[in-house]
Amino acid sequence: MLRKLGSILALVFGVATCFVIYSLIAGELATLPPDNAKLILDTERHTYASIPCAVRGQTDRELIVDRAALANPDSFLELPSFANEGTMGQIREEKRSGVLWKRDTTCEANGGFDVRWRLYQTEPKPRWTLDGDWRW
């Protein structure tokens, strides 16, 4: 009986060890947006999108008034009346206060928020600069 129990424990330990090693080699980590990451907020739907998603039109609804202005680097982006610029910290604070914000589903489906990198990469390049701007 003890021999069987020892064999079962050895098998479980072996499987768990293999899982840990696999996770270290092929696993992924997610880097979430920092508090100062700039976002476009849809105040009517209580959704938010990354600025790259908004510029690329990868959002549930249009968040840029004049797409032609994107071609001119000197122009400012005009947002519709229901949209504002905000930060991830603002979203987190409002969530703690009970305001239910959620990610824009189209932006999320296009990878607009998280950066996934493999553990064996020693220095992944963050998606955001130190001042919260998005790296494209």
What amino acid is encoded at 96 in this protein? R
Residue 54: name the closest of 63, 46, 45 by CA.
63
Q: Is residue 6 part of a domain?
A: no
What amino acid is encoded at 48 in this protein? Y
Rounded to two decimals, the pTM is 0.66
Q: Is residue 104 part of a domain?
A: yes
Cβ(116)–Cβ(56) under 8 Å? no
Choice between 136 and 25, residue whose per-residue pLDDT is larger: 136
What pLDDT, on the 0 to 100 scale, is given for residue 81?
96
Q: Give phi and psi for 126, each to the nearest 5.
A: -65, 155
Q: Is residue 3 part of a domain?
A: no
What is the residue range of 54's domain? 29-118
- pLDDT average, residue stretch 106-131: 68
Q: Is residue 46 part of a domain?
A: yes
Q: Is 116 helix (H, G, I), strand (E, B) or coil?
A: strand
Alpha carbon 13 to chain centroid, angstroms: 34
The pair of structure tokens assigned to 5 is 């129990």
Q: Is residue 128 part of a domain?
A: no
- Is the pLDDT at 113 greater than 80? The verdict is no
Pairing of strands 28-31, 38-42: unpaired
Q: Is residue 94 part of a domain?
A: yes
Choice between 66 and 128, residue whose per-residue pLDDT is larger: 66
Q: Is residue 59 part of a domain?
A: yes
User: How far is Cα 59 from Cα 110, in angstroms, rounded to an integer?
Assistant: 9
Residue 40: name the closest of 62, 22, 19, 25 by CA.
62
| Domains: count for the chain | 1
What are the residues whose beta carbons fall under 8 Å from the beta carbon of 126, sequence distance 6 or more?
A: 31, 115, 135
Q: Is residue 2 part of a domain?
A: no
The pair of structure tokens assigned to 45 is 């739907």
- Is the pLDDT at 31 greater than 80? The verdict is no
